[in-house]
Amino acid sequence: MDEKSVLVDLLNKARDGDDAARDELFDKCRNYVNFVARTQVESWLQAKVDASDLVQQTLLEAHRGLDGFRGNTEDEWLAWLRRILTNNTTDFVRRYKGAEKRRATKEVPLQMPMGDNSQDFFFEPSADIESPSQIVMQHEREILLADAIAQLSEDHQEVVMLRNVQKLPFDEVARRMDRTRPAVQMLWMRALKRLEQILKEQPDD
């Protein structure tokens, strides 16, 4: 049974009152929701919010509101989870900005550095290769990819998120990770190689 069939089967069983299937369904979606949460949290806000808090809140609301879900396919299910997550993220941003306004403090927004000189992109993938975030957002093998990213080491996850998802220049990635640019580039290459290896090891890759 492929991943999509597994999710739909678990969804149907959960709707029929199978508590074990309900728990397994949300467990299988946790890595995916976590990945999407990290893509939705703006870079300037990351110091203010832990994506895991949004993930926990989203899964809890989805768990409580499962009876209100009217879809029947995996795409509809994942879209429903994303909608709950987006609403939670929006609510947090609104509350945070309101609190900042009330304190009448001025926060200097993160200045995104200009793009690197093209000649410095020695390790840049070719234009026809999609980034992990592009694959996820196009609903292609979402669960498998999110699970694969979750298997990476912390450093590998961070460099992929900063470089491929937030699309920050290597100089900015190096600053955030407190490493030299060459070290970050090598780390990024190893992370993508490891991610590709994990995906190739998937049974239905």
Per residue in 51-76, pLDDT (tens digit) is 788 899 999 999 999 999 999 898 89
Please state, for a pLDDT cut of 90, what percent of the chain lies above it.
43
Instruction: Please state which architecture CATH assigns to domain 3-103.
Output: Orthogonal Bundle (1.10)
Alpha helix segments (H runs only) across 41-150: 51-64, 74-103, 132-137, 142-150
Q: What is the number of other CB atoms lying within 10 angstroms of the CB of residue 136? A: 22
| CATH class in words for 119-200 | mainly alpha
Q: CA separation (Å) from 144 to 67, 71, 121, 154?
A: 26, 21, 29, 18
Domains 3-103 and 119-200 share a fold: no
Q: How confident is the model at residue 2 (pLDDT cuts 50, 70, 90)?
A: low
Give residue limits of the domains in the chain.
3-103, 119-200
pTM of the predicted model over 0.85: no
Q: How confident is the model at residue 139 (pLDDT cuts 50, 70, 90)?
A: very low
How far is residue 13's CA from residue 22's CA, in Å, rounded to a whole number?
7
How far is residue 30's CA from residue 187's CA, in Å, rounded to a whole number?
26
Residue 124: which of 79, 170, 66 has the closest Cα? 170
pLDDT value at residue 83: 92
pLDDT value at residue 118: 27
Q: How confident is the model at residue 135 (pLDDT cuts 50, 70, 90)?
A: very low
